[in-house]
Amino acid sequence: MAAVEELFLGFDLSTQQFKVVCIDAGQNLVHQNQVQFDVELPEFRTQGGVHVRADGLTVTSPVLMWIKALDLLLDKMKAAGFQFSRVRALSGCGQQHGSVYWRRGSAHKLRQLDPELSLHLQLQDCFSVSDCPVWMDSSTGAECQRLEAQVGGAHRLACITGSRAYERFTGNQIAKLARDQVQAFQNTERISLVSSFAASLFLGDFAAIDWSDGSGMNLLDIRARAWSETCMDATAPHLDALLGVPCHPVTVLGSISSYLVQRFGFGADCKVVAFTGDNPASLAGMMLQKGDVAVSLGTSDTVFLSIETPQANLDGHVFCNPVEPESYMALLCFKNASLTRERIRNKCSGASWELFSAALEETLPGNHGHIGFYFDSWEITPPAVGVHLFDAEDREVSSLSPQLEVRALVEGQFLSRRLHAEKLGYSGTAGSRVWATGGGSSNPALLQVLANVFKAPVYTIDVPNSACLGAAYRALHGELGPDVSFFSAVKDCRKHRLMATPDPAASQVYDRMLQRLARLEERVLLKSHPSVP
């Protein structure tokens, strides 16, 4: 009788849906499924998977909706004939910075689940907070200021945790809850991230927070890979007990719960590998190696790096690397991205991407000294707003010709991506590659500028559901154990295509422009923050 091929599951509890992909031992896609919160669970009345309060700052999601979504997702897989008994290991990820507050007594309930009943019916009373803060929440400004002041400033906090204080980061959300909902905080037995909460549902017990997702809390010392006592003391009392001990990203937390074995037919020896955040899982899905940079050109532009040594920076984030845990990953997010490119396309190129690309191809690298900063809304990196155009003499001007403006936009955006990536550890050494994803990665003219600016060949990669796929890869890796490297366990199955190679002469132009852009960016920052001395 032929051996039954083993399967590996990757789950993703994101903002708007709960997804799963299944791969076999050869990394072939076997099954995928999803539950859309707004559409399939309308009783929770979410929009985009969240509730936005009247203040416009407080954004939450119902924890019971997430549990009911898992019930529905597993039922869908069962109805499709999925063979749960073949699953050797599973892992997953969750939207970063969300948090879940388990009520006292919940651990006992998790361990005593009745396989005849759904999860959401049995766990509906297990949470001291029913609507949990998620990454879109920006209501913790006071807590951020307090944390930075008590730790010794934004730079000191970034040195410890990899990031300055951010309103969406979990430590600041916990601090606000401890202050504003005293009774709920006192009734809390365990605090999970979205990722470790999801892992707990599969494990049938509280799951540890892994180092990578824990790096997005303003609480983890990313070098020691342990909770920072300084940050914990500045946040809330008794956090060490409430958070548990953070774990290595390749930790096998245990075998799947007997509840899921009996209800869905999982094998009793199916391993649950530590879950992580969606950004670290995406890095795993894109199989990013040291020296490479991934640039997602979408509604926002996101830059991922795998780096050896963390560099404290006030604009980006440094997390523990989920696939090479002794290394780090850096992340930068730029709000003004494709929508700004579309606006300039409409203004300067008759709403035509063909004419926009032609303008890039017909103008010279360096743009005759013209540089543009385009921040239609408040930017994250750098924190600035407004459109700022400069001529070759560094004089601010009110307008440029259409062709010059197209190149000023693209060069300004991509030079800014490189400038801030270098601050976080990107070096652009020989052998570096740029992996481009997102809608903008289909434009060869854009990618040629990207290759010239980063001095590296640009490849496009086809990795749909990269976070979910990364979770499945991590399940496969975790089943083999931490003594086997991720890149030995997982072969490179990316569908990639070389789109652009750098022109050495153009790259030299951009090397010179980079320092000038940094200097002009400081002027823009002062203009955006005139009260700052």
- What is the mean pLDDT for each group of 10 consecutive residues in the chain (533 residues)? 79 96 94 97 96 93 98 98 98 96 97 98 98 94 97 96 95 97 97 98 98 98 97 96 96 98 98 96 90 90 90 88 92 93 97 97 97 93 94 96 98 97 86 90 96 95 85 95 90 86 97 96 88 48
Question: CA triplet 348, 350, 353: central angle to 5 degrees?
Answer: 90
For residue range 485-496, what is the model confidence (pLDDT) as tens digits?
A: 999 999 887 778
DSSP assignment letter at 8: E
pLDDT score, position 533: 43
Give the distance from CA 463 to its chain's centroid. Answer: 15
How far is it between the farthest Cα atoms of the chain? 78
Angle between the 278-286 and 466-480 helix axes, to the nearest 10 degrees?
Answer: 80
pLDDT score, position 326: 87
Tokens for 437, please give them: 């994803």
Backbone angles phi, psi at 368, to 5 degrees: 55, 30
In 264-322, beta strands by DSSP E: 271-273, 276-277, 293-297, 301-307, 317-320
pTM of model > 0.85 = yes
Q: Report the distance separating Cα 117 and Cα 142, nearest Å.
A: 43
* Burial (Cβ within 10 Å: 0-12, 13-18, ≥19) of residue 248: middle
pLDDT score, position 483: 87
pLDDT score, position 280: 94
Q: Report the distance separating Cα 431 and Cα 436, nearest Å.
A: 16
pLDDT score, position 3: 59
Are 184 and 128 in contact, with CB atoms under 8 Å apart? yes
Closest CA to 240 of 191, 186, 195: 191
pLDDT score, position 28: 92
pLDDT score, position 325: 81
Cis before 365 (ω within 30) = no
Radius of gyration, CA atoms only, the chain: 24
**CA of 237: how far to CAs of 105, 129, 177, in Å?**
20, 18, 12
- The upper half-sphere exposure of residue 458, i.e. CA atoms within 13 Å in the direction of its Cβ, equals 26
Q: Report the distance separating Cα 330 and Cα 269, nearest Å.
A: 35
pLDDT score, position 10: 98
CB atoms within 10 A of CB 362: 11
Number of residues in the chain: 533
pLDDT score, position 425: 87
pLDDT score, position 1: 39
